[in-house]
Structure 1
Amino acid sequence: MTVEAPTAPALSYGRLVPVTVHFDDLDALGMLHNARYPLMVERAWTDLWSGHGVRFDGDWAAAGDACNVVKELRISYDAPVTRPGDYAVHLWLERLGTTGLTYGFRFCSADGAVTYGQGTRVLVRLDPATLRPAPWSEAFRAVGRELLRPAG
């Protein structure tokens, strides 16, 4: 049985971030291990925001908008990744709230044309002293608005 990965429309929103699948990311059957998909998405998300000056070096008090936690993760696996190499993660925001956001993602071919897995992740920004929800900075929100998926 051959599984055909669904093709995606041309990228009209969000960002396509390159990622690399290494040989040791594959499971015993030679497919990208299911736990590696969220890891690849996290690496792409980190790369995207690092390019905008949002970094985390282990200091929660200095982390600013990087002081956030995952509230929810949903993912579906559409087709197996069966070899190491260059791929990409398509990232966008579905919702940008005061203290939380929902971003969408697709794990895809390097050109974004073939989708292997997709999902959403909900993040909540925290105050480092209280660990309670805190508002995103205006600088973060400005970049976030550029990533919003168009309605409809």
Structure 2
Amino acid sequence: MTAEAPIAPALSYGRLIPVTVHFDDLDALGLLHNARYPVMVERAWTALWQEHGFGFDGDWEAAGDFCNAVKELRITYDARVDKPGAYAVHLWLERLGNTGLTYGFRFCSADGAVTYARGSRVLVRLDAATLRPASWSEPFRAVGRELLRSAD
């Protein structure tokens, strides 16, 4: 019996968003700098929500659901990225609460087959005037439900 190669997770949940690693994203060892992974994930997350009409244009009062804060970020580095080029971020929601959410992510090859890093991030929706937790809007929640990863 031979060992089977790991199979890339099926993309039956979430979205695969293309990202680009540039030469200047690499550190002195020629590896993608650890601080660049969260930046790439943030850019992918922003692109995904902008596709659905959510975004920030400089006005926090008008930002609505984009007025949020990071409560927690966890990341595990699984394999090195040592070349500039096309990659992707696989994004999904693990939990969608009234005022918070947890999303999962994988920084991966452009086709999603190879995982370089994975993690999760907890966001809290804020009221722009008080900076206290506020409920996600129903349009935001509707898109969020489409991104939820099932328990199976």
Normalising by the smaller structure, the TM-score range is: over 0.9
Partner of 1:129: 129
User: How much identity, in percent, do the aligned residues show?
Assistant: 82
Deviation at 1:124, TM superposition (A): 0.3
SS in 1 for 2:31: coil
User: Which aligned pairs between 1:64-143 and structure 2 lie closer than 5 A?
Assistant: 64-143=64-143
Counterpart amino acid of residue 36 in structure 1: R
Deviations 1:57-93 (A, max 9, x none): 1111000100001000000000000100000000000
Partner of 1:39: 39
Unaligned runs of at least 5 residues, structure 1: 1-5
SS in 1 for 2:119: strand
Deviation at 1:9, TM superposition (A): 2.2
TM-score, reference length from structure 1: 0.95
Question: Is the CA contact 1:106–1:117 (under 8 Å) kept in the aligned structure 2?
Answer: yes
Partners of 2:29 and 2:19 lie apart in 1 by 21
Counterpart amino acid of residue 63 in structure 1: A
SS in 2 for 1:63: helix
Question: Is the CA contact 1:7–1:115 (under 8 Å) kept in the aligned structure 2?
Answer: no
Tell me how large the CA RMSD over aligned residues is.
0.8
What stretches of structure 1 move > 6 A for 4+ residues in a row?
A: none
Question: Is the CA contact 1:72–1:122 (under 8 Å) kept in the aligned structure 2?
Answer: yes
Partners of 1:73 and 1:58 lie apart in 2 by 24
Counterpart amino acid of residue 22 in structure 1: H
Deviations 1:91-136 (A, max 9, x none): 0000000000000000000000000000000000000000000000
Counterpart amino acid of residue 97 in structure 2: G
Deviation at 1:7, TM superposition (A): 5.0
Unaligned runs of at least 5 residues, structure 2: 1-5
Count the aligned residue pairs.
147
Question: Is the CA contact 1:94–1:148 (under 8 Å) kept in the aligned structure 2?
Answer: yes
TM-score, reference length from structure 2: 0.95
